[in-house]
A and B are shown apart, each in its own frame.
Chain A
């Protein structure tokens, strides 16, 4: 790890194919800056990406990276971190990836509290498959597959995380560059699972949850009298259906990350040329 790492070191020379104006540009820039700012470099960082527009992030960033199959970014990232507690692990994906096909993994990754960060680029629509409803789409949001709207309430990822025992819950906005970076940074530094839901507008298919909409409606918890260490206060904020918030909703200062709970602190990549010392004891056990 070197101290002169710049955020551009996390940038690959591959040009993003995201639509001009896509929220994912800002989301990614903030992630790269946050990684550099927290003292990481590409050689000790592992980014796991999901499927969809957001999943392409592994290609546009430069680090050790794995682009998984749909919905499985979190178990992948979990495996990397368990084998390599010495490596900074960040998972990234979209709302479909994380809250639909991967919803089960989300709940369990949250409660496992592995020391990594998870950034979800939430545009409230399926972009890459060209505009179908996502789990966070509004109930009256009309799309090709839901002409009259999904007619069901959207998933509330923040409340889902809180109910699952999350130790860090935050939300940011791709276009509010500094705040977004600051929040992701805090997620990285958190001792445990740092979850950030990012409003990352889809300029092509979502004409409701737009930059203007978020700019006008977002309430920054930093400017409110909100104590993220206060569980009851967090409950109120994440369940507030009236307002859109950015900032850290909840942070458990007593968080004990998975590796400490389970004593998984060794780098598992280093091996002897033969069976480990003491392996014959395994046989003797069967006498």
Chain B
């Protein structure tokens, strides 16, 4: 009996691929199965190849693999694109009545289902994908009733007739396969459990984290793959007294977010690389005016407009060094979808405690991928809100100068000044991107300049000491081989450990969620024979940083095809790397 399943539906954009995939993923999740999804999509609204892939197991799954068991193909291209991943025993569900002659490879089972006609029998051809889902249920021995729940969730708002029609469509698909095919060889039996999982993607987790952390204001401009953050917040943040603005551009977005933060709200904007470029000027103002602000960068393939719908981790240098002058900032980078939630919460606390801009850097693979979690993963009781040195009427006096003026940029030992929000009596003050004195007023005085620069930079030193900049550790802690990674590669790496273990290769994986400040890995690197840094970019931006910190050379695995790392692929690459020489010093 096979319990793990790799399933996909593919066709043209506009064919409802995404929603069909999501309905199936939700059904599996409702059945207490773990789910990990991935999407292949093109930058166009209609047409072009698009696919939604689901990997499901009763055990936790956190990456994609090079295997496809059941494929719902709405076009020939879907079959062609996935040939490499299909294997003996795979099945393809297709509609033989449609105009294309499906070219099914010899050792693969073709399951010809009249999707369109059956959908019409159920009430409309639009439901042909749901017919396919019903067929998939029959192929995998998965109880079609779980699909019903998903269909209710998806179409409930459109009325009970629509829901009933869809349920009927699924059943017609199921019955057709049952009556026309002998499934003896497939032998799937998808086990269900009593677990109640939640299924969400990284963008949604970031948005949820923001609301949990008390974010009340969001301004953004639509851009792939960050838009889902704005979509998530819209209509939800209002329930908590917040508001979302779709700004006229990224410049306006970050400035509105900054304005709201000056007003005292926890405030956020999210964008992708091109938007980060546009925001760079104001980023400096955020830092110099010492305003708490969370800026989310969901990376995609660059530079310029690059490949908007493809994976890359190419903005590390931009977030770490971007902006003119020298700008203190924090850069946190979630490594999993659940970390997208928790790191966003942390980001708001760092922003307010240290009055700095904080980048939350995620990548496309985290953003658009859905994964199942136990709801307790997002335990709201664990969320802490630390607003830092926010002064009110009672303690404002200690920050006034001899003339009774509020020292909003007071030079302090820990580098953090008091913060007063509008409405606080006697604390009216100005802030500016110009170099300024303690009162926030423009200055070119050499002492003021040095004091303010040192003060702002000191915040980072304070944070390095006060906060815990941990990393996540996997595999064998005593292994001679150390693999270091950041961002979404973690899932694939953790699963790669199983493949490597089977081959007798012991590996320790360190996944780093903090780019700046970041954990000191010198000792870990020192004690390893081989150090490999894995990242989805061409030049190895994180590897550069690691080499700089540890004063040593490391091996690198870089992928910049636009496609995420896969577990089996990584295992192979790591094994190959072990035979290579370390690059010359």
Residues on A facing B (Cβ under 8 Å): 13-14, 42-48, 56, 58-59, 62-69, 71-72, 75-84, 86-87, 104-105, 107-108, 262-264, 266, 268-269, 271-276, 278-280, 282-284, 286-287
CB closest residue in chain B, given A282: B208
**A67 neighbours in B (Cβ, 8 Å):** 430-434, 442
B260:A66 contact, CB within 8 angstroms: no
Whether A66 and B432, one on each chain, are in contact in the complex, defined by CB atoms closer than 8 angstroms, is yes
- Contact residues, B421-438 vs A (CB, 8 A): 421-434
Q: Known interface pairs A43-B424, A82-B243, A268-B216. Does A66 touch B264 (Cβ–Cβ under 8 Å)?
A: no
Instruction: Establish whether residues B425 and A80, one from each chain, have CB atoms under 8 Å apart when the complex forms.
Output: no
B253: chain A residues within 8 A (beta carbon): 75
CB distance from B151 to the nearest CB of A (A): 15
B289 contacts the other chain (CB 8 A): yes
* Residue from the list A48, A87, A275 in contact with B423, Cβ < 8 A: A87
The answer to whether B261 has its CB under 8 Å from any CB of chain A is: yes
CB B359 to nearest CB in A, in angstroms, measures 19
Is the beta-carbon distance between B265 and A72 smaller than 8 angstroms? no
Q: Which residues of A contact B266 (CB under 8 A)?
A: 268, 271
| A105 interface neighbour in B198, B248, B261, B264, Cβ under 8 Å | B248
* Contact, CB under 8 Å: B423 / A65: no
Known A14-B441, A275-B383; judge A66-B262 contact (CB<8 A).
Answer: yes
A86 lies within 8 A of B428 (CB)? no
User: Is B236 in the interface zone, CB < 8 Å from A?
Assistant: yes
Neighbour of B263 across the interface among A62, A79, A108, A262, CB < 8 A? A79
B186-208 near A? 1/0 per residue, CB < 8 Å: 00000000001111100010001
The listed residue (A104, A262, A280) touching B248 by CB distance below 8 A is A104
Q: How far is the CA of A198 from the CA of B442 in the complex (A)?
A: 25
Q: Which residues of A contact B236 (CB under 8 A)?
A: 282
From B197, B219, B289, B381, A66 is in contact (CB under 8 Å) with B289
Q: Which of B251, B422, B429 contacts A87 (CB 8 A)?
A: B422
Whether A83 pairs with B260 at a CB distance below 8 angstroms is yes
Q: Decide: A75 and B243 in contact? CB cutoff 8 A.
A: no
A76 to B121 Cα, complex, angstroms: 57
The residue in chain B whose Cβ has the minimal distance to the Cβ of A71 is: B251
Given contacts A83-B263, A274-B384, A282-B208, contact A287 B30 (CB under 8 A): yes
Q: Per-residue 0/1 for B389-400: is the Cβ within 8 Å of any A Cβ (1 yes, 0 no)?
A: 000000000000
Cβ of A72 and Cβ of B251 under 8 Å apart?
Answer: yes
* Interface membership of B551, Cβ < 8 A: no
Taking a contact as CB atoms under 8 Å apart, the answer to whether B255 and A75 are in contact is yes
Q: A283 is contacted by which of B208, B247, B265 (Cβ under 8 Å)? A: B208
17 of the cross-chain contacts (CB-CB < 8 Å) are A43-B426, A46-B263, A64-B428, A67-B430, A69-B281, A80-B263, A82-B217, A83-B217, A83-B259, A108-B252, A271-B266, A271-B387, A274-B385, A275-B383, A278-B240, A286-B198, A286-B199
A108 adjacent to B255 (CB under 8 Å): no
Question: Contact at A72–B421, with CB atoms within 8 Å?
Answer: no
In the bound complex, how far is the Cα of B30 from the Cα of A56, in angstroms? 60
A13 proximity list for chain B (CB < 8 A):
403
| Distance A65 CA – B439 CA, assembled complex (angstroms) | 12
Given A44-B422, A75-B247, CB of A283 within 8 Å of CB of B198: yes
Least CB distance from A18 to B in Å reads: 14
**Could you tell me the dominant secondary structure of chain B's interface residues?**
mixed
B282: which of A65, A69, A87, A269 is its contact (CB, 8 Å)? A69
Q: How many residues of B contact A (CB 8 A)?
A: 73
Q: How far, in whole Å, are A82 and B422 apart by their CA atoms in the complex?
A: 13
When the two chains form their complex, are residues B241 and A75 in contact, meaning their CB atoms are under 8 A apart? no
Shortest CB–CB separation between residue B343 and chain A, in angstroms?
15
List the 3 shortest-distance A-B pairs measured between CB atoms, nearest first: A79-B259, A269-B264, A83-B263
Q: Which residues of B contact A65 (CB under 8 A)?
A: 428-431
C-alpha spacing A282/B262, complex, angstroms: 27
Pairwise interchain contact A64-B429, C-beta atoms closer than 8 A: yes
Contact B380 A79 (CB under 8 A): no
Q: Is the beta-carbon distance between A268 and B262 smaller than 8 angstroms?
A: no
**Which residues on the A side are within 8 Å of B378 (C-beta)?**
282-283
Residue in A75, A80, A263, A279 whose beta carbon sits within 8 Å of that of B422 in the complex:
A80
| Shortest Cβ gap from A107 to chain B (Å) | 8
What is the CB-to-nearest-CB distance from A9 to chain B, in angstroms, rounded to a whole number?
10
Within the complex, what minimum Cβ distance (angstroms) separates A226 from chain B? 32
Interface flags for B541-556 (1: CB within 8 Å of A; 0: not) read 0000000000000000
Whether A83 touches B267, Cβ cut-off 8 Å, given contacts A75-B255, A273-B384, A283-B208, is: yes
On whether the beta carbons of B217 and A79 are closer than 8 Å, the reply is yes
Question: Least Cβ distance of A262 to chain B in Å?
Answer: 7
- Shortest distance between the CB of A234 and any CB in chain B (Å): 24
Contact call B256/A76, Cβ cutoff below 8 A: yes
> Do B423 and A44 have beta carbons less than 8 Å apart?
yes
A75 adjacent to B259 (CB under 8 Å): yes
Task: Let me know if B501 is at the binding interface, CB within 8 A.
Answer: no
A79 adjacent to B257 (CB under 8 Å): yes
For residues 15 through 44 of chain B, which have their beta carbon under 8 Å from a beta carbon of chain A? 29-30
Complex: A70 Cα to B259 Cα, angstroms: 15
> What are the residues of chain B within 8 A of A278 when measuring CB–CB?
239-240
For the complex formed, measure the closest distance between the CB of A35 and the CB atoms of chain B, giving whole angstroms: 12
In whole angstroms, how far apart are the Cα atoms of A262 and B248 in the complex?
17
The digit string for B301-324, where 1 denotes a CB below 8 A from any CB of A, is 000000000000000000000000
Name the distance in Å between B157's Cβ and chain A's nearest Cβ: 14
Q: In the bound complex, what is the Cα–Cα distance between A107 and B247 (angstroms)?
A: 12
CA–CA, A82 and B237, complex, Å: 14
Given A68-B285, A282-B212, also A76-B423 (CB < 8 A):
no
Cβ B423 vs Cβ A84 within 8 A: yes
Give 13 new A-B contacts, CB below 8 A, not counting A104-B248, A271-B216, A274-B381.
Answer: A46-B422, A62-B428, A66-B259, A72-B251, A79-B258, A82-B260, A84-B264, A86-B423, A264-B243, A275-B214, A278-B239, A286-B204, A287-B30
Question: A279 with B265: in contact, given A77-B259, A104-B248, A262-B243 (CB under 8 Å)?
Answer: no
B245 lies within 8 A of chain A by Cβ: yes
Contact at B428–A283, with CB atoms within 8 Å? Answer: no
Complex interface: chain A residues within 8 A of B258 (CB):
66, 76, 79
Are B421 and A79 interface neighbours, CB within 8 A?
Answer: no
Residues of A within 8 A of B101 (CB): none
C-alpha spacing A21/B256, complex, angstroms: 34
Q: Which residues of A contact B572 (CB under 8 A)?
A: none
A79 to B243, CA, bound (A): 10
B487 cross-chain contacts in A, Cβ below 8 A: none
